[in-house]
Amino acid sequence: MTMKWWQRSVFYQIYPRSFADQNGDGIGDFAGMAAKLDYLHRLGVDAIWLSPHFPSPFLDCGYDISDYTGVAPEYGTIEEFSHFLQQAHTRGIRVILDLVLNHTSDQHPWFRESRSSRDNPRRDWYIWRDGRDGGPPNNWAAIFGGSAWQLDPTTGQYYYHAFLPEQPDLNWRNPEVKAALWSVVRFWLDLGVDGFRLDAIATIFEHPELPDHTLAVSPDAIVDANELPWDDYWQLLHFQLHQPGLHELMQELRALVDSYPGDRVLIGEDEQVAFHGSGDDELHLVFNFPLMRTERLTPAHIRANQAQRLAELPPGAWPCNTLGNHDSPRVWSRYGDGTHDAALARLHLALLLTLKGTPVLYYGEEIGMANLELSDPGQLRDTTAIRRYRMLTEREGVAPQAAMGLVAASTRDRCRSPMQWNSTPNAGFCPPEAHPWLPVHPNHRLGVSVADQEGDPGSLLSFYRHLLGLRRATPALVSGDYQLLDPESEAYLAFTRRDPASGQTCLVLLNFTPAQLTPGIDPGALRGRLLFSSTGRPDHELTLHDLTLTPFEVLIAELLEAEPRTRN
């Protein structure tokens, strides 16, 4: 089977607001992003996933769209978008967009019309219901807290929102809605984009009869459903997620995308492998989020994750691994231990680039950007965090400073701070006299910047470049099968990637401890050719049976002379 581009590629997520500000208004823009394409090309990524770049009131940082076929004016114009796309393509970099199908902004003209009267032709484009006993139609909660229903005084009915009240859900059972969104999809495909990351697909349909959920909790007590224990989350949202019709809809979207040349790709923001359909008739990729769902990336966790994930994928489906995005803490901070963060960051990248599947990186990860620590509520930009702060201080009587501490430790603003290009004030993201939309992390002065790491062969950035280059040049790391070598060790991870087409087999050894160790593994060969070692071993050929790993070593070798195995 020949591999598709999206199976071979490494994706890099850009949060447009935070990447590079060219016009000095403190907000990233397309001119800025275009100017950084050479950087991304040199880094060695193959594709960009752009978080939403559409006009938006930015209550959910662009995931509240008020015009699906436009460009946010602060980011630029459609011409600048096209220029960016064309410049990316010139460098062999593909670009996928963020497609938010579930909801619009409440400022979208469709919703303004819909809410204007009960008999407006767009009334049924959203989900309107009468209240019950003087309250909302049922006990459903919004994922971002509070009731999922908002009373609209103009018409006296409630509308449904899975997320913020400013993000009303579209009614996907209305064929006009579907037609309108499919023409949005065509608009961008016609412009030449290479596919879409599909936002929050699980929320597209709701149970039509609106049955009450059975979790004993009031919607007002929920601040962010994502923080509930797993079972409670599913019980709470039982009738709001993964409703019938979803897979048929995704198949329809796939057929639409497939009607374009060039293998355009669909990546679902979901972890359920059911979205692969029968392997090749629904979404191309869904994220392996369970890999991220842990405090520490231990060998045991990774092994269990891979065993389960690879077993449950339907034949023909391809994995997709990631460790960070705009909704989760920075990889550096989340999986670091406070002492060996730099070594762990290298190990975690090596993991992502050597596991089977398409890796998705998040901007700034390559220089070790850490969680932004905010101390002043006025700096918060994520509406969910602002709501939490208000709830804590106004409803629960928590003192402002303590409340801010709690919010600072959970806000999504932590991972959205401006990209750190150099060590000057504002980190080269915007001019020194400008006011960036979120503060720049102070560690841009302490070596966490592109300029500081660029020429340093020992930097994290150099490590990223090196490993991305190695992956690209090593067929087994891209397309090989994954075979675990040690089912037990708490200290290291050992596996091979075997590519039948090229005959190449690579051995990957990752030492997760600060101690030297000798893995007791049998990779099926006595000798290996060293492809990479994070400790810079001098030898080109390795004897594999008594190999000793240095602390936190990443070692990748190509197996030589596979030994014929004898059964006895």
What residues are annotated to the active site?
199, 269
Helix or strand or coil: residue 245? coil
Report the nearest approach of ligand GLC to the CB of residue 385 (Å).
12
Within 13 Å of residue 547, how many CA atoms lie on the same side as its CB? Answer: 32
Nearer to ligand GLC, 101 or 403 (CB): 101
Report the nearest approach of ligand GLC to the CB of residue 170 (Å).
12
User: Considering only residues 194, 199, 366, 413, which one is a binding residue for ligand GLC as defined by CB under 6 A?
Assistant: 199
Report the nearest approach of ligand GLC to the CB of residue 105 (Å).
10
Are residues 481 and 306 in contact, defined by beta-carbon separation less than 8 angstroms? no
Nearer to ligand GLC, 169 or 553 (CB): 169
**All residues at 6 or more sequence positions from 330 whose CB lies less than 8 Å from its CB, including other chains:** 324, 364, 365, 369, 370, 371, 414, 415
Are residues 127 and 160 in contact, defined by beta-carbon separation less than 8 angstroms? yes
Footprint of ligand GLC on residues 288-327 (CB under 6 A)? 326-327
User: Considering only residues 23, 243, 298, 550, which one is a binding residue for Ca ion as defined by CB under 5 A?
Assistant: 23
C-alpha distances in Å from residue 164, one per residue of 122, 168, 214, 277, 410: 21, 8, 22, 30, 17
Stretch that binds Ca ion, among 22-30, 81-89, 375-383, 553-561 (CB under 5 A): 22-30
Footprint of ligand GLC on residues 348-367 (CB under 6 A)? none
User: Considering only residues 11, 12, 20, 21, which one is a binding residue for Ca ion as defined by CB under 5 A?
Assistant: 21
Report the nearest approach of Ca ion to the CB of residue 83 (Å).
15
Phi, psi of 268 (to 5 degrees): -85, 135
In one-letter notation, the amino acid at residue 231 is D
Helix or strand or coil: residue 270? coil
The closest alpha carbon to 63, from 370, 384, 283, 377, belongs to 384
Stretch that binds Ca ion, among 20-28, 366-374, 386-394, 417-425 (CB under 5 A): 20-28
In one-letter notation, the amino acid at residue 416 is R
Report the nearest approach of Ca ion to the CB of residue 27 (Å).
4
Residue 553 binds which entry of ligand GLC, Ca ion, none, with Cβ cut-offs from 5 to 8 Å by kind?
A: none
Report the nearest approach of ligand GLC to the CB of residue 263 (Å).
24
Residue 25 binds which entry of Ca ion, ligand GLC, none, with Cβ cut-offs from 5 to 8 Å by kind?
A: Ca ion
Residue 152 binds which entry of ligand GLC, Ca ion, none, with Cβ cut-offs from 5 to 8 Å by kind?
A: none
User: In 332-343, which positions are buried (b, 16+ CB within 10 angstroms) versus exposed (e)?
Assistant: bbbbbeeebbbb
The closest alpha carbon to 320, from 426, 423, 195, belongs to 195
Footprint of ligand GLC on residues 81-100 (CB under 6 A)? 100
- For position 194 contacting Ca ion by CB under 5 A, the verdict is no
Residue 481 binds which entry of ligand GLC, Ca ion, none, with Cβ cut-offs from 5 to 8 Å by kind?
A: none
Report the nearest approach of ligand GLC to the CB of residue 109 (Å).
19
Report the nearest approach of Ca ion to the CB of residue 81 (Å).
14
Nearer to ligand GLC, 140 or 163 (CB): 163
Nearer to ligand GLC, 326 or 381 (CB): 326
Give the separation between CA 235 and CA 259, rounded to whole angstroms. 38
User: In 162-190, which positions are buried (b, 16+ CB within 10 angstroms) versus exposed (e)?
Assistant: bbbbbbbbbbbebeebbeebeebbeebbe
Nearer to ligand GLC, 34 or 285 (CB): 285
- For position 273 contacting ligand GLC by CB under 6 A, the verdict is no
String marking each residue 26-55 x if it binds Ca ion according to CB under 5 A: -x-x--------------------------
- For position 553 contacting ligand GLC by CB under 6 A, the verdict is no
**All residues at 6 or more sequence positions from 202 whose CB lies less than 8 Å from its CB, including other chains:** 241, 242, 246, 270, 272
User: Considering only residues 19, 58, 110, 163, which one is a binding residue for ligand GLC as defined by CB under 6 A?
Assistant: 163
User: Considering only residues 63, 111, 463, 512, which one is a binding residue for ligand GLC as defined by CB under 6 A?
Assistant: 63
User: Considering only residues 97, 200, 267, 476, which one is a binding residue for ligand GLC as defined by CB under 6 A?
Assistant: 200
Give the separation between CA 320 and CA 329, rounded to whole angstroms. 19
Give the separation between CA 56 and CA 10, rounded to whole angstroms. 29
Residue 199 binds which entry of Ca ion, ligand GLC, none, with Cβ cut-offs from 5 to 8 Å by kind?
A: ligand GLC
CA angle 535, 449, 46 (to 5 degrees): 75
Report the nearest approach of ligand GLC to the CB of residue 200 (Å).
4
User: In 464-482, which positions are buried (b, 16+ CB within 10 angstroms) versus exposed (e)?
Assistant: bbebbebbbebbbbbbbeb
Nearer to Ca ion, 29 or 46 (CB): 29
- For position 177 contacting ligand GLC by CB under 6 A, the verdict is no
Helix or strand or coil: residue 170? strand
Helix, strand counts (H, E) of the chain = 17, 17
Nearer to ligand GLC, 25 or 327 (CB): 327
The closest alpha carbon to 302, from 256, 232, 231, 357, belongs to 357
For binding to Ca ion (CB under 5 A), which residues are involved?
21, 23, 25, 27, 29
For binding to ligand GLC (CB under 6 A), which residues are involved?
60, 63, 100, 163, 199-200, 269, 326-327
